[in-house]
Amino acid sequence: MGADDRGTPPLFLYGVLLGAVAQGPARELVRGLGPGRAAVARGLLYAVPAGGRFYPALLPGEGKVHGMVHDPGEADLAALDRFEDVRPDDPAAGEYRRGPIEVTLAGSRERVMAQAWWFNRPVGPLMLPIAHGNFVQWLKDTGAPAARG
């Protein structure tokens, strides 16, 4: 799994863009992605409350974050960036920034470089740590609803 024909690296998804969670606009945005494969990346994961629902925040750290790595396929990366509030004209202003992350593909020791949406804010007092690093499992364990997007 490497860069696609456009030179775009794979995308590491760990939250509301995952097929198991994606609803509404998020589901439409990921329709064009290529096949996915389970993967783990280094980082810290938090649940961010938003109107009674939650979305995840990935931050640098020494924990493990579980997700899926997908070839970008026909996905509209600009639309995905807008969904994640990435602001190319002022990267510090957006809630997220898309940047590189090394992931280990499940069932192997194969590591690949991918792109992930990193949370671009400090940890806030209402953010909940997800110690095991799996947003989908956290939703199941807590019964919390995922943000719709």
Give Cα 135 distance to the centre of its chain: 10
Q: Is 137 helix (H, G, I), strand (E, B) or coil?
A: helix
pLDDT at site 35: 84
pLDDT level of residue 149 (50, 70, 90 thresholds) = low
Q: What does the alpha-carbon distance between residue 64 and residue 62 come to, in Å, rounded to a whole number?
A: 7
Tell me the mean pLDDT in the region 70-88.
94
In whole numbers, what is the pLDDT of the chain averaged over residues? 93
pLDDT single digits (tens) 103-117: 999 999 999 999 999
Are 20 and 136 contacting, i.e. CB atoms less than 8 angstroms apart?
A: yes
- Residue 148: per-residue pLDDT: 78
CATH number of 11-140: 3.10.490.10
**What phi, psi does 137 have (nearest 5°)?**
-65, -40
* pLDDT for position 82: 95
Whole-angstrom Cα distance, residue 84 to residue 17?
10
